């Protein structure tokens, strides 16, 4: 299935989300902070990134800004998963290029469904091989 990068400084969240996504057949790469997220994204080029906002080293909005400014990474879809749920925060994420914004606490079933939708949409947008 897909290679998904999850960047969140909370071990419990990383473990829970990784367990659920791996159970559906995905490979999950985990980052504990914004700096690690950028390094991992550059090295692994995941199919999708799930990104917390409040992280050490570099917050998720800055990671998102850098991802979208990098020609090699700008096309990777990003879902924000954050406790920052004010309208202003959501708009910052969406305007910054995130395709979705999920507020913590969250449902694992809903997150999994949104991940699957994002992956299907990305696959549909990719040019067919041989074109």
Q: What is the pLDDT of residues 25-44, one digit of tens each?
A: 999 999 999 999 999 999 99
CATH number of the domain bearing residue 94: 3.40.50.2300
Q: Is residue 131 one of the residues assigned to a domain?
A: no
Q: What are phi and psi for residue 79, nearest 5 degrees?
A: -110, 125
Q: What is the pLDDT of residues 46-104, one digit of tens each?
A: 999 999 999 999 999 999 999 999 999 999 999 999 999 999 999 999 999 999 999 99
| Domain total of the chain | 1
Query: Token pair of 65, please?
Result: 């800004």
Q: Is residue 130 one of the residues assigned to a domain?
A: no
Q: What residues does 10 pair with on adjacent strands?
A: none
Q: Which domain holds residue 27?
A: 3-125
Q: Is residue 26 one of the residues assigned to a domain?
A: yes
Whole-structure pTM value: 0.93
Got the DSSP string for 95-118? HTT-SEEEESS--HHHHHHHHHHH
């Amino acid at each position: 299935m897909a290679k998904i990068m999850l960047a969140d400084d909370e071990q419990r969240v990383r473990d829970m989300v990784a367990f659920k996504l791996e159970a559906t057949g995905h490979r999950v790469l985990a980052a504990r902070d914004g700096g690690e997220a950028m390094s991992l994204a550059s090295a692994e080029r995941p199919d999708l990134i799930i990104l917390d906002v409040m992280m050490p080293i570099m917050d998720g909005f800055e990671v998102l800004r850098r991802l979208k400014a990098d020609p090699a990474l700008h096309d990777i879809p990003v879902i924000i998963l954050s406790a920052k749920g004010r309208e202003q925060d959501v708009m910052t994420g969406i305007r910054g290029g995130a395709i979705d914004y999920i507020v913590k606490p969250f449902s694992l079933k809903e997150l999994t469904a949104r991940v699957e939708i994002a992956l299907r949409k990305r696959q549909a947008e990719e040019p067919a091989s041989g074109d």
